[in-house]
C-alpha cells in the first residue's frame, strides 16, 4: 500500500486529492495546523474525514514537519499548503513569504535528510506569470510576479527545481491556473459569486459586492486538476507542467452566467467596491496545457459554463438545506461580511 503525505489537507485541493488517493488504495496522512476553530468541513463533506490520518504540524516549524515525515514514512509528498488568497498576501506580505515561500525550503531540506526517496510535489501557481505580456502562458513563459503571493510561490518553485537538480530528488512542480469547485473558499471570487447568487435567488440577501470585473482568468475544475497532479507524480522523471483549460473569461462573464442561471439581471444586484481591487492588478492569465496533454495524457473536460453550474447548484442546495433546518458541513454561516474588514490596500 502506497503512503502519501499531504500538506494543506483541509483545503479544496487537499480534500479532492485525498479522496482520489484513497480511492486508489493509498494510506493518506494529512498535515493540519492546530487552531481554536477546526476547519475540517471539506473532508467531512466528501465523506473522508474518518479515513485521513491527521498529523498536527506547522510549516514554519521544521521540527514538526520532520516529525510528520517520520510518522507517515511517505512514498509521495504533496505540498498544497500556502497562504493562497492573493489579496491577503498584500496585507500580510512577510507572513506570506514565510508560509508560502521559505517553509518550502525547510520542507525540502527535511526530506533531503530523512526521506530522500520520497517523491515531492510543489503546488506552483499561474500568478507567478503576473503581467508577462504573453497572451498564453506555458512552461517556458517568463515569470513576472505582481503580488507578494506570486513572488513567494516563485521562490518555492525555483527552490524545488534547485533541490531536484542539485540532489537528484524527485521534485516536480505543477503550475496550476485558477481551479474552482463547491469546496473553494468564500474569499475567492468564484465561490463568492456563486454563494451570493444562490442567496439572492432565495431571497436571503440582495447584493453582491465585487472589485475588478475586467480581470481575465483561465478557470478549470479542481478535481480534474488534482488528477493531473497525481499523474505528474507517477512519471519516471520529475518535471514542470502547466495545468489549465486554454480558455480565458472575465469576472464579468462569470457573474453574468451565474445570474442568468437563476433568471436574474446581474446589474441590479452587483456593486463595485474599489477596496476590493488589488494594489497591482494582473489583468490576463490563460494557460497552454499542451505539454500535460502530450506527456500525462491529461486534458480538461468540464467547461466554463458547466463549472459555474456545478458550483451554483451546490450552493443553492446548501442554502436550501440550511433554510430547512438541516445542519451540514459548510463554511458560509461562519464567514463574516467583507464590509467588516479594514484595510488600506485600496486601488488608487
Which residue's C-alpha cell is 513572488?
A: 151
d(CA 221, CA 227): 10
34 with 71: CB under 8 angstroms?
Answer: no
Distances (CA, A) of 248 to 121, 128, 284: 26, 17, 8
d(CA 97, CA 246): 29
Say which residues have a Cβ less than 8 Å from residue 283's Cβ, sequence separation at least 6.
131, 214, 215, 216
User: Which grid coordinates belong to 50?
Assistant: 474518518
d(CA 126, CA 139): 10
156 with 125: CB under 8 angstroms?
Answer: no
DSSP string, 50-115: GGSEEEE--TT-HHHHHHHHHHH--SEEEE--S---HHHHHHSHHHHIIIIIIHHHHHHHHHHHH-
Evaluated on CA atoms 273, 275, 278, 280, the torsion sign reads positive
Distances (CA, A) of 76 to 28, 81, 167, 169, 241: 10, 15, 17, 12, 18
DSSP string, 172-186: EEEEE--EE-TTS-T
Catalytic positions, written as ranges: 125, 127, 149
Task: Count other Cβ atoms within 10 Å, centred on residue 12.
Answer: 24
Helix (H) or strand (E) holding 319: helix 304-323
Amino acid at each position: 500500500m502506497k503512503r502519501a503525505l499531504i500538506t494543506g489537507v483541509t483545503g479544496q485541493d487537499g480534500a479532492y486529492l485525498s479522496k482520489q488517493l484513497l480511492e486508489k488504495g493509498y494510506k493518506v496522512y494529512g498535515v493540519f495546523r492546530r487552531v481554536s476553530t477546526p476547519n475540517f468541513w471539506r473532508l467531512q463533506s466528501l465523506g473522508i474525514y474518518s479515513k485521513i490520518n491527521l498529523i498536527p504540524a506547522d510549516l514554519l516549524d521544521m521540527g514538526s514537519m520532520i516529525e510528520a515525515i517520520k510518522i507517515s514514512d511517505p512514498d509521495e509528498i504533496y505540498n498544497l499548503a500556502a497562504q493562497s488568497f492573493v489579496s491577503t498576501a498584500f496585507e500580510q506580505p512577510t507572513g506570506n513569504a514565510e508560509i508560502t515561500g521559505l517553509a518550502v525550503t525547510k520542507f525540502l531540506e527535511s526530506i533531503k535528510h530523512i526521506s530522500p526517496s520520497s517523491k515531492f510535489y510543489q503546488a506552483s501557481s499561474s500568478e507567478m506569470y503576473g503581467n508577462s505580456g504573453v497572451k498564453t502562458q506555458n512552461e517556458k513563459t517568463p515569470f513576472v510576479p505582481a503580488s507578494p503571493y506570486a513572488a513567494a510561490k516563485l521562490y518555492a518553485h525555483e527552490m524545488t527545481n534547485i533541490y531536484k537538480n542539485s540532489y537528484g530528488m524527485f521534485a516536480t512542480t505543477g503550475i496550476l491556473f485558477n481551479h474552482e469547485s463547491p469546496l473553494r473558499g468564500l474569499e475567492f471570487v468564484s465561490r463568492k459569486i456563486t454563494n451570493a447568487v444562490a442567496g439572492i435567488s432565495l431571497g436571503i440577501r440582495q447584493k453582491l459586492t465585487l472589485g475588478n470585473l475586467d480581470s481575465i482568468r483561465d478557470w478549470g475544475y479542481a478535481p480534474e486538476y488534482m488528477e493531473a497532479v497525481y499523474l505528474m507524480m507517477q512519471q519516471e522523471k520529475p518535471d514542470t507542467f502547466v495545468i489549465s483549460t486554454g480558455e480565458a473569461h472575465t469576472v464579468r462573464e462569470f457573474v453574468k452566467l451565474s445570474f442568468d442561471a437563476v433568471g436574474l439581471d446581474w446589474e441590479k444586484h452587483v456593486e463595485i467596491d474599489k477596496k476590493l481591487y488589488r494594489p497591482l492588478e494582473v489583468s490576463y492569465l490563460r494557460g497552454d496545457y499542451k505539454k500535460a496533454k502530450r506527456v500525462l495524457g491529461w486534458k480538461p473536460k468540464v467547461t466554463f459554463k458547466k463549472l459555474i453550474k456545478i458550483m451554483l447548484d451546490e450552493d443553492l442546495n446548501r442554502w436550501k438545506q440550511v433554510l430547512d433546518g438541516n445542519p451540514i458541513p459548510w463554511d458560509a454561516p461562519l464567514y463574516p461580511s467583507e464590509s467588516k474588514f479594514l484595510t488600506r490596500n485600496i486601488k488608487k
